[in-house]
Amino acid sequence: MITFRVDSSSEEELLYSVSVDSDGRASCDCEGFGRGRFCRHIDAVLVSGEWAMVPENYRAAAAKAMELARGKITSPTNWKATWRKDWAWRGLSATREPINPRRSGKPLVCFTGTLPGKKRADWLAEAKNAGWDTTDEPSPFTDVLVAKDPNAASAKLKKARDNRTVIVSADEWADVMLDGVLPDV
């Protein structure tokens, strides 16, 4: 059994405990440990591979738990991942430091798949205008990956989750682009 802690998204300084057993089953104490109960803490870290909400001293344990739970947890069919809109909890605030500061000092966004509404060149140009570097190939340096379906199981998304890149939908990107990962000035 591996246990790590996750910040509460609503209350400061409150931490929940998430445990993964040797079979890869997860439980969380946010509403009392309940068998088979699903919550945003399990979803964000163990299913979506995000880590901003895990305090630094628990990240090693969280990485092991992710490994143990990989492919073994799926969100319930009626589940609404409302936490995706919680920018601060996901570390997407204006003061977030880029995952891996590169020479340009700008955050890096990667676009994947066919995104609705605009041509790829327009998505790229718009991002550049808003102060981002852009790429088509996800890497450990990528801060944000924009995908048609952030929950899809494609190889690019899997790689991005392994790299702990924040994955957002095209709709979400509109906000993140303007109010998201920007370097401290």
Q: Which residue ranges make up the site for Zn ion (CB under 5 A)?
A: 28, 30, 39, 41
Taking CA atoms, 164 is separated from 46, 129, 144, in Å, by 11, 25, 9
- Could you identify the residue written with the tokens 């919550």? 39
Closer of 10 and 114 to Zn ion (Cβ):
10
Taking CA atoms, 123 is separated from 138, 146, 172, 181, in Å, by 16, 10, 13, 17
Give least dist CB 83 to Zn ion, A: 10
Q: Report CA torsion sign: 113, 118, 122, 128.
A: negative
Give least dist CB 114 to Zn ion, A: 34
Q: Which of 3, 159, 163, 155 is nearest to 69 (CA)?
A: 3
Closer of 2 and 28 to Zn ion (Cβ):
28
Strand partners, 6: 16
Give least dist CB 16 to Zn ion, A: 5
Closer of 14 and 60 to Zn ion (Cβ):
14
Give least dist CB 143 to Zn ion, A: 26
Closer of 33 and 88 to Zn ion (Cβ):
33
